[in-house]
Amino acid sequence: MPVRSGRPRPTRVPPRSLAEEAYERLVRKITRLEAEPGSVLVERDLMAEFEIGRTPLREAMQRLAIERLVNHLPNRGMFVSEITASGVQQIYEFRAMLDGQAAALAATRATSEQVRALDALHRELVSATEDADVDAYVDADRDFYRVLGEAAHNAWIADSIPRIFNLHLRLWFFISRRLGHWEDIAHSHEVMTRDVVAALQWRDAAKARQAMETYIGARLVDIKVIL
């Protein structure tokens, strides 16, 4: 997906540790399909590429295994998780429940500051699409879901949403690659973020849930066609 540089990017907080750095770099490779589904993750190659030691790399891969982006096969090694029809169905079923409930709860529990933050992040998503800046888009999207989870004021939801974000981010890139571009599904996503923010402003839990579930259902249809 060709992209061009967008507006100046804010400075991101550097990783807290070597393991965190390895994790972030592996997440990027896996979610953007630079490491193909089903491919082996060769430890010595990644150590050389990342210029990082074995211990932090293994810590990062263990974390990815918990998130189900990586599979450890005894006596064979670490492999990038496959993208299968049954796996995709389960991911989207869980997303519909989790994200839908988060949006519904946020409609009645979010603070005014959180609603304003979500509105600002929606606008960042729109600007990133206009600039064809996929990196800015991913950053804003990650923040949108994180703030939405926090706005639900439920610790279990707030902890769970970031842990599954990378799973559906990889599927987002998977759909985009098959389409040959990412802007169309980005626009669809922005309809959802716009409608969720509006529902939160109206304090309408049903509309917030519907906006989220409609978007997730549409992406499931997209990927089923591809698979």
Domain covering 85-226 assigned CATH 1.20.120.530 in the classification: yes
pTM of the predicted model, to two decimals? Answer: 0.89
Domain ranges in the chain are 18-80, 85-226
Please compute Rg for the chain using Cα positions. 18
Residue whose tokens read 């211990």: 55
Render pLDDT for 163-190 as a digit per residue (tens, 0 to 9). 899 999 999 999 999 888 899 899 999 9
Domain covering 18-80 assigned CATH 1.10.10.10 in the classification: yes
Sheet architecture: strand order including 40-41? 40-41, 77-80, 70-73
- CA separation for the pair 172, 222 (Å, rounded): 10
Render pLDDT for 93-124 as a digit per residue (tens, 0 to 9). 999 999 999 999 999 999 999 999 999 999 99
